[in-house]
A and B are shown apart, each in its own frame.
Chain A
Amino acid sequence: MPRNIKSRNNFMSILIDKETRLVVQGITGKEGSFHAAQCVAYGSNVVAGVTPGKGGQDVDGIPVFNTIKEAAENKGANAALIFVPSAFASDAILESATAGLEVVVCITEGIPVKDMLKVISFLKRKRCRLIGPNCPGVISPGRCKAGIMPGQIHKEGSIGVISRSGTLTYEVVNQLTESGLGQSTCIGIGGDPIIGSSFVDILKLFDDDPQTKGVVLIGEIGGNDEEAAAEYIKKDFSKPVLGFVAGLTAPPGKRMGHAGAIISGSSGTAKDKIAAMQKGGIHVVEHLGKLGEEAGEVFS
């Protein structure tokens, strides 16, 4: 696994930039066609779409291929955005990773855990960074959008954002933008228990990115990815970090919307995560309404 997939122009960001040549898997579906058009409208370079059996067609002028292999060979696609239904989404990830795409962003919600375990096991042998599944995607404001987030709330700048959720991230980004803090890259890593990239994986990329001056980390109940991030930040991360954790009032044993947002027994609570983050030197925001304001202070 490469430690970093660097951009190749002067404007640094992580994962995606103006050079990204995006292929949309499931482009002929309702979600796929809508969001492909939205990404194009934002300025992303969507070079191809893939839907098996619909090769030769086009969606708003974007050529459709039967396979990723064809899309990569004919259009030089180097990153994939997946809207394929959950029963077939793991196959779509494997197809892109096998074709040599460097970045794969999977939006699909509800992929069986067993399928994802196999995907993760396979990806360990590939030079491919998977974001998601069950995520809003990735955006490098002003350069490239590979996801379903509303582009207009973002602003080009120097704050990296990493989150396990969707609309909560939009809320945070909106507050940052309103406080005058633009973003280098915003990444939704996904709300499932088994995901391609952890907080630490993304933090490492931000650490190496000169454009990123600070990071906002949005966690939630379940698992212990926030704790791992806090430990990494304390030991190896060189930039200031602002944190928030959702789910202080969540009851144990219940999945709170996201498949991965569950307190198992007494592990994965928001309280423990906040404590770990504070111990790691992260400035944790208690009241979500004040995040923009506090970010202004932390990143000034």
Chain B
Amino acid sequence: MKIHEYQAKEIFSKFNIPIPKGSVAHEAKEAAAIAEEIGGSSWAVKAQIHAGGRGKGGGVRVAKTAEEVVTAAKDILGMNLVTHQTGPRGKIVRKILVEEGLSVAQEFYVGITIDRTRQCPVLIASSEGGMGIEELAANYPERIVREWIDVGLGFQGFQARNIAFGLGMDPSLIRPATGIFIELYRLFEAMDCMLVEINPLIETKDKQLLALDAKIDFDDSALFRHKDLLELKDTAEKDPLELKASQHRLNYIRMDGNVGIMVNGAGLAMATMDLIKQAGASPANFLDVGGGATSEMVSKGFEIILGDKNVRGILINIFGGILRCDVLAKGVVEAAGNVKINVPIVVRLDGTNVDEGRNILAESGLDFLVADSMADAAEKVRGILD
């Protein structure tokens, strides 16, 4: 689960990680009041969306006067911000963070994530902050320092020192820096994070360290033990169809194509998306209805797929395992009867009791195109789009 920068900074603050003075605003008037309360001679106005690259997309502005704060706030609030992480549809900005302007002497990158190969957390840091870690790794691999963390022992003092000295920090900053790294891991561990990132961690001209940006991604599987975090969830950040799907416990991801898919199992669903592409079309979504797809789930699946107006056809691909094809076919027929469907549907069934399942589809009186293999399904999808 991702949260906004301003929320991540509130959490940083609880873990003694220094952050700039600032507050979140929903309208321009509020932004001016915040700027006045902070004081000083410059302010940053930052769009709050769950995606990186906001600066390049025009979502971050520096203001020198109260009027400029208001203008920036007006421009950013409500804009459709498109960055390399939002996808071409972009995201509507509904909140902004107004912060004190700071004079930056140096920018660092600091992040903790899971190293899947070594199967442990890793703290990654660089003396080149501001850009993404991927870009850093590509351009300045020699300026990246890493410490892998033993989950039994936790993050050790010497590791924090390795990082701070490895970054070539000013001697006066070693102590505060190691403090920040240790607290950052304490946060990562205590709150079941998949990622915490300070990019950039800045050194100001008067030798203070501050987290100028903050990013946290929580482990969805661990949210059951952090019930308080659910309040931080911003449902407006989610695609409305994806939100509706998650409320029905369906695994749906919206894409830009025109053939909807409904599949049991995530791996098979991905392979089915690929198949659609190979058939010369493009997938409108990923939808895994799970190993135990019921008629009700299939109905909801239809509703969600058809909620995307680009959809011109649907491919249902079910491999019956323990759950038999005849049961699944009944579910599909029932669901198709409940939902008004105005696009052609290709159904490919295989596995346990496949013949009974295909008979049920054939005798339903509904207009299914029944495919008898993956290759045949691709052929039939191509047919409906011609």
Contacts and interface: CB of A to CB of B under 8 A. Distances in A.
A170 B270 contact: no
Contacts of A256: 253, 266, 269-270, 286
B30 to A, nearest CB: 31
A221 interface: yes
A163 B116 contact: no
Contacts of A254: 253, 286
A193 B116 contact: yes
Q: Which of B121, B275, B283 has the most CB of A within 10 A?
A: B275
Contacts of B319: 167, 170-171, 174
B221 A113 contact: yes
A35 B269 CA distance: 24
Nearest to A267: B134
A186 to B, nearest CB: 13
Interface of B: 85, 87, 114, 116-117, 119-121, 132-134, 150-152, 189, 192, 194, 219-222, 224-225, 251, 253, 255, 263-271, 273-278, 282-283, 286, 288, 291, 319-322, 350-352, 373-378
Interface string A99-129: 0000000000011111101101100000000
Interface in A239-254: 244, 246-251, 253-254
B322 A148 contact: yes
A117 B221 contact: no
Given A193-B114, A246-B270, A247-B271, 12 more contacts: A112-B192, A114-B222, A121-B152, A152-B352, A167-B264, A170-B321, A171-B350, A193-B116, A220-B267, A248-B274, A256-B286, A266-B134
A220 B269 CA distance: 11
A265 B255 CA distance: 18
Query: Which 8 residue pairs spanning A and B have beta carbons closest together?
Result: A165-B267, A257-B266, A167-B265, A168-B267, A289-B375, A289-B374, A112-B222, A246-B270
Nearest to B219: A113
| Interface majority SS (helix, strand, loop, mixed), chain B | mixed
A261 interface: yes
A270 B276 CA distance: 16
A150 interface: yes
A229 to B, nearest CB: 12
A167 B253 contact: no
Contact of B277 (A117, A169, A249, A259): A249
A224 B267 contact: no
Given A169-B267, A170-B351, A118 B151 contact: yes
A288 B267 contact: no
B221 A168 contact: no
A166 B308 CA distance: 28
Interface in A254-289: 254, 256-261, 265-267, 270, 286-289
A261 B270 contact: yes
A289 B382 CA distance: 15
Given A153-B351, A256-B286, A289-B275, A171 B266 contact: no
Contacts of B376: 289
